[in-house]
Amino acid sequence: MTAIGSQLEAPLESVAWFERARAVTPGGVNSPVRAFNAVGGTPRFIRSASGAWLTDVDGREYVDLICSWGPMLLGHAHPEVHRQVAEAVTRGTTYGAPTTPEVELAEEIVARTPVDQVRFVSSGTEATMSAIRLARGFTGRDLVVKFAGCYHGHVDALLAAAGSGLVTLRDAASRGSSGQAFSVPGSSGVPDSATALTIVLPYNDREAVTTAFQEYGDRIAALITEAAPGNMGVVPPEPGFNAFLAATCTQYGALLVSDEVMTGFRVSRQGQWGLDGKVEGWRPDLMTFGKVMGGGFPAAAFGGRADVMAHLAPLGPVYQAGTLSGNPIATTAGLATLRLATEDVYQHLHQVADQIKGAAAEALDTAGVPHRIQSAGTMFSVFFADHPVPDFEAAQAQDTAAFAAFFHAMLDRGVHLPPSAFEAWFVSAAHDDRAVQTVLDALPAAASAAAQVQKGTR
Ligand SMILES: *Cc1c(COP(=O)(O)O)cnc(C)c1O
């Protein structure tokens, strides 16, 4: 695909590295969305980053609106985080024995969130996988409920999401009595048996939740939800929706697993729970964290009620372990990041997000491109659609071709957006006036590029 309105030559070094990468790695990337499949073109190979800026192997600079898909809350190469990490590395990098930064990071997470205890792992995927196992072990039940469009990592049982959830539920209800599959895997390589115990529902749909629990309530171990979904674009919970989920789970003796891998320590100091549960007076039974809490290193966690966590090995019968879990370098980086993530940081993120949202809306309005901007705390995304987006079905009904043109026009003007219309845009404490102005300056031309595509297809 050629970028509309492209003002730049091809990024020759990135093109060359992408070719080398594709020879030795499937698709040339180690996580699929980096490959630019949804927007076309060549992913930029990044040589270095500092603050709000990325530098690619061709020497071009970009304002980063991915922030490593969330973790870089303070911006890249934060001097104090780096100082502490560099110092920690001189003491060795992993011992396979307990360390003090693990305890301090756990204390910081317990202080900010409603969990009593946490267990560290190395990725968000491991966190949700372990939380589900723990919920099943604790309740002695087998079924798991999730929402279409919510992503919880590449756990077999949670890779069921595609298609209309209501149809999935009806389908499930009709087959459930004979003990057959509840939902269909969303990935090749996941056997039906792995998702057979997963019920998929449409997000923000209380009626579907009630129906599922009425039908299967005594078999449901857990309901897992993104605290505020950001993996289908940002689709905030309707007011009271998370409280309703908590109450429903309590009523049926199921555990609410609130996945805050993306929202945790990003949308507010206390994550999405700080915006709803804390105010409304409820808490999830289990929570999962990742991204920001690793400070740019592989660290994640799951945690929750002490009586539930007591079922984990070595105290209880639910097995879970990891060679690099709680790695001292990763926990040092996470701890430094959380300690520096003060109220001022979140206020700055809000301010920057508001500036970019306002300018994006204005540019798209001026160009006549239908759009919806949705937010959860400091996290937001732009849907190229003419309708509100309360769920996955609505998220899928957007103009992805217009987004691709918009994306490339932004990239050509030095703004590195997520290369998909179904992702959140992330800002950091290091996004200063110069970075924001670069984004604002790029928006009108990008909106025009999107408008041109829409005119061409109308
Ligand atoms: C990123 C993400 C995960 C998976 O985390 P990984 O570290 O990529 O395995 C799980 N849940 C949510 C909500 C996420 O955003």
Per-residue pLDDT of the chain (458 residues; tens, 9 = 90+): 444 445 567 899 999 999 999 999 999 999 998 999 999 999 999 999 999 999 999 999 999 999 999 999 999 999 999 999 999 999 999 999 999 999 999 999 999 999 999 999 999 999 999 999 999 999 999 999 999 999 999 988 888 753 333 333 444 444 433 333 356 678 888 888 888 899 999 999 999 999 999 999 999 999 999 999 999 999 999 999 999 999 999 999 999 999 999 999 999 999 999 999 999 999 999 999 999 999 999 999 999 999 999 999 999 999 999 999 999 999 999 999 999 999 999 999 999 999 999 999 999 999 999 999 999 999 999 999 999 999 999 999 999 999 999 999 999 999 999 999 999 999 999 999 999 999 999 999 999 999 999 998 76
CA distance 377 to 347: 10
Q: What is the torsional sign of CA 38, 44, 46, 49?
A: negative
The pLDDT score that the predictor gives to residue 417 is 98
> Tokens 């009593």, residue?
116
**In terms of Cα–Cα distance, which of 184, 181, 78 is closest to 430?**
78
Please, which contacts does 190-197 make with residues 24 or more away whose CB atoms are closer than 8 Å?
190/156, 190/159, 190/160, 191/156, 194/156, 194/157, 194/159, 195/156, 195/157, 195/159, 195/160, 197/142, 197/143, 197/144, 197/157
Top mutation candidate among 121, 125, 203, 325 for ligand 1, by most atoms within 8 Å of CB? 125
Q: How many residues does the chain have?
A: 458
CA distance 3 to 56: 18
C-alpha of residue 198 to centroid of ligand 1, in Å: 18
Does 318 contact ligand 1 (Cβ within 6 A)? Answer: no
Does 231 contact ligand 1 (Cβ within 6 A)? Answer: yes
3-state secondary structure of 198: strand
The pLDDT score that the predictor gives to residue 169 is 41
Pairing status of strand 255-259 against strand 286-289: parallel
Top mutation candidate among 29, 261, 420 for ligand 1, by most atoms within 8 Å of CB? 261
Does 123 contact ligand 1 (Cβ within 6 A)? Answer: yes
3-state secondary structure of 358: helix
Does 426 contact ligand 1 (Cβ within 6 A)? Answer: no
Please name the residue whose Cα sits nearest to atom 5 of ligand 1.
Answer: 124
| Enclosing H/E stretch for 226 | strand 220-226
**Token representation of residue 195:** 């998702």
C-alpha of residue 18 to centroid of ligand 1, in Å: 25
Pairing status of strand 372-376 against strand 379-383: antiparallel
Q: Is 201 exposed, middle or buried (0-12, 13-18, 19+ CB in 10 A)?
A: buried
**In terms of Cα–Cα distance, which of 158, 96, 101 is closest to 130?**
158
In ligand 1, which atom is closest to the CA atom of 226?
Answer: 13
Does 149 contact ligand 1 (Cβ within 6 A)? Answer: no
C-alpha of residue 124 to centroid of ligand 1, in Å: 4
Q: Where in the chain is the domain with CATH 3.90.1150.10?
A: 12-64+342-457
Catalytic positions, please? 151, 259, 291
**Token representation of residue 107:** 């204390």
Does 147 contact ligand 1 (Cβ within 6 A)? Answer: no
> Tokens 């690619």, residue?
56
The pLDDT score that the predictor gives to residue 217 is 97
C-alpha of residue 452 to centroid of ligand 1, in Å: 35
Does 202 contact ligand 1 (Cβ within 6 A)? Answer: no
Non-local CB neighbours of 216 within 8 Å, separated by 6+ positions: 143, 176, 199
Looking at domain 12-64+342-457, its CATH superfamily turns out to be Aspartate Aminotransferase, domain 1 (3.90.1150.10)
In ligand 1, which atom is closest to the CA atom of 125?
Answer: 9
Please name the residue whose Cα sits nearest to atom 11 of ligand 1.
Answer: 152
C-alpha of residue 191 to centroid of ligand 1, in Å: 22
The pLDDT score that the predictor gives to residue 181 is 33
What are 225's strand-pairing partners? Answer: 258
**Token representation of residue 336:** 């430094």
In ligand 1, which atom is closest to the CA atom of 229?
Answer: 13
Radius of gyration of the CA atoms of the chain, in A? 22
Distance separating the N- and C-terminal Cα atoms of the chain: 19
Does 153 contact ligand 1 (Cβ within 6 A)? Answer: yes
The pLDDT score that the predictor gives to residue 186 is 80
DSSP 339-366: HH--HHHHHHHHHHHHHHHHHHHHHHHH
C-alpha of residue 70 to centroid of ligand 1, in Å: 10
CB atoms near residue 252 (< 10 Å): 18
The pLDDT score that the predictor gives to residue 178 is 34
Does 259 contact ligand 1 (Cβ within 6 A)? Answer: yes
**Token representation of residue 323:** 């060679």
What class, spelled out in words, does domain 81-340 have in CATH?
A: alpha beta
C-alpha of residue 59 to centroid of ligand 1, in Å: 30
The pLDDT score that the predictor gives to residue 161 is 55
Q: What is the torsional sign of CA 383, 385, 391, 396?
A: negative
CA distance 89 to 312: 30
The pLDDT score that the predictor gives to residue 182 is 56
Q: Is 193 exposed, middle or buried (0-12, 13-18, 19+ CB in 10 A)?
A: exposed
The pLDDT score that the predictor gives to residue 6 is 52
Tell me the residue ranges of DSSP E strands in 187-324: 198-201, 220-226, 255-259, 286-289, 300-304
Pairing status of strand 300-304 against strand 286-289: antiparallel
The pLDDT score that the predictor gives to residue 160 is 76
**In terms of Cα–Cα distance, which of 97, 101, 50 is closest to 338?**
101
Does 201 contact ligand 1 (Cβ within 6 A)? Answer: no
C-alpha of residue 441 to centroid of ligand 1, in Å: 32
Non-local CB neighbours of 376 within 8 Å, separated by 6+ positions: 228, 230, 234, 236, 263, 267, 272, 275
Does 124 contact ligand 1 (Cβ within 6 A)? Answer: yes
Q: Where in the chain is the domain with CATH 3.40.640.10?
A: 81-340
